[in-house]
Structure 1
């Protein structure tokens, strides 16, 4: 046989053998521990969400699921480790709108955000809220915009580090409202909430979950949420879009993805388990306490959500002239 034909036959047989092996593995899935890599530190909203969902999934799949936190470098370390993992469904990645932001904030990534991952499902969505110091003479988004326009550059709005979801939500707000405001960066959410309470800043756009206890205790006022629908836990607080800035929306979300080329039967099984977990009334109630609306989805829907956020936040980053790292 001609050497190049033998080589082609060898590759074909190897590919067939690999496909057959993966198919057999998919039928037995899961047969061992599953690991979920989280690109954030322990104790945050994303971490708590995935741990609660993973616990439900583990009970149903009768296999242990562990959560490993690998924060740092805008989520690149965690994502790269999963992109290079064996595509067998035993190493998964927590993805989010932050994954989309990172695709725009870095000049070069060691992976392709859309090509190197197989999105499985969303886990839940969590709002951000527009918070104002109690002494600020505004009760609505329309009044906040009017206040800013009356004194350009005087309104101070806090958020965490430049390029974060909160920061981009503020950038989108000031851009759509066409206002000149001072955006003040802080190290973390606790510092933002404290500064809003004390009046160090006039307002803030922050993740709703950590702010809920202080909103309910009256430390500051929540004048709007940033999603397309009102948060069920604060039914009297309107959305930004319905209270002064039509078409504004900035929603955070979490989901799970596997390495690209993970067998479709494995993706389908994981999607089924995730949707069953987040449909549990008990889990829905627990996540709602954290400011999270539990909601699953399809692999294609999750991919479209990620791709849409890459385009949306890329435009915001470009308009805000945030330098790529």
Structure 2
């Protein structure tokens, strides 16, 4: 009897944490590869608070900013696959393989994907005092005076920079793309007329648009957005095949048990359907878009292929 009892105890000890007791059984770390204040960080903190209530354990958002989100992504890739360390996946995961010679992880195969969380458009803005009343005006001016109209974005290789490079390429625009270290620097240069226009996330520009400092020319979404119904899409403005949406989602280390992934997926769906969450996100043009784990993985596969083509066309060298 003692031998049987000992064998049973050893078998229980060998079971993963999720099988020994209810998941989660301690606080969850949600790693974000950007500093505080951006759309990804804001979304993670807003959603994480409600996840904590449903899961019965704190969900602690931890910012680990670095180029390409590599530090945050590697941290999660190397974590125990028990659902207690999660990653906020962003479009950066699709661009990093084409921008860095080596990565300390495989951006797809080293993770179990839980769900997409949200999608949101970019927006092309100009200064409120600029002569461009529409995106067509901006494109016409750039073609009439090659090299005289500059466009701006944040750092090389970001989704914003690559979206602008795609716009430049599809529009056959003879412009130089100027990159800035921070969103604040970029929008200030746009407002003062140092550059003709900029590509930014809608959520970070809405305040300056409503405040009269910036003028919205076009959104990159397939349809106009509710918070700026009078602003046309890029497709409506002369580039019918141009559509770009940025997104974020949740992933866990490879080997995380499917019951844990399913529990997280169900909780995310519940949280993203809450009126108080939608009331906070939708005014920022951030749309909750929960998916299956398989759809989240396929999104990253498709986006990796798309941005690989853009990066090659833009002749951006690997670091």
- TM-score of the pair, normalised by structure 1: 0.91
Q: Which residue of structure 2 aligns with residue 185 of structure 1?
A: 179
Question: What does residue range 104-183 of structure 1 map to in structure 2 within 5 Å?
Answer: 104-183=98-177
**SS of residue matched to 1:190:** helix
- Describe the shift of the 1:161–1:18 C-alpha distance in structure 2 as closer, same or farther (beyond 3 A): farther
- Rounded to whole Å, the distance in 1 between the matches of 2:20 and 2:280 is 32
- Describe the shift of the 1:124–1:184 C-alpha distance in structure 2 as closer, same or farther (beyond 3 A): same
**SS of residue matched to 2:227:** coil
Residue 208 of structure 1, CA deviation: 1.2
CA RMSD of aligned residues (A): 1.8
* 1:132-175 Cα distance to aligned partner (Å, 9 max, x none): 12343332223322222111112110111111111111100000
- Describe the shift of the 1:26–1:121 C-alpha distance in structure 2 as closer, same or farther (beyond 3 A): farther
8 A Cα contact 2:226 2:285, kept in partner:
no
8 A Cα contact 1:45 1:290, kept in partner:
no
- Rounded to whole Å, the distance in 2 between the matches of 1:38 and 1:316 is 25
Q: Which residue of structure 2 aligns with residue 94 of structure 1?
A: 88
* 1:29-59 Cα distance to aligned partner (Å, 9 max, x none): 1222111011111122111100100101111
> Tell me, which stretches of 5 or more residues in structure 1 are unaligned?
1-16
1:236 aligns with 2:230: yes
Q: Which residue of structure 1 aligns with residue 256 of structure 2?
A: 262
Q: Which residue of structure 1 aligns with residue 4 of structure 2?
A: none
Equivalent pairs, count:
309
Residue 22 of structure 1, CA deviation: 3.1
8 A Cα contact 1:26 1:265, kept in partner:
no
1:225 aligns with 2:219: yes
8 A Cα contact 2:227 2:284, kept in partner:
no
8 A Cα contact 1:279 1:295, kept in partner:
no
Q: Select between 18-27 and 248-257 the one with higher mean Cα deviation.
A: 18-27
- Rounded to whole Å, the distance in 2 between the matches of 1:26 and 1:279 is 31
Residue 20 of structure 1, CA deviation: 7.4
**SS of residue matched to 1:92:** strand
Residue 291 of structure 1, CA deviation: 3.5
Q: Which residue of structure 2 aligns with residue 55 of structure 1?
A: 49
Match of 1:67 among 61, 71, 81: 61
1:301 aligns with 2:295: yes
1:39 aligns with 2:37: no
- Rounded to whole Å, the distance in 2 between the matches of 1:216 and 1:294 is 23
* 1:102-142 Cα distance to aligned partner (Å, 9 max, x none): 12111111111110011111111122110012343332223
Q: Which residue of structure 2 aligns with residue 5 of structure 1?
A: none
- TM-score of the pair, normalised by structure 2: 0.92
8 A Cα contact 2:114 2:249, kept in partner:
yes
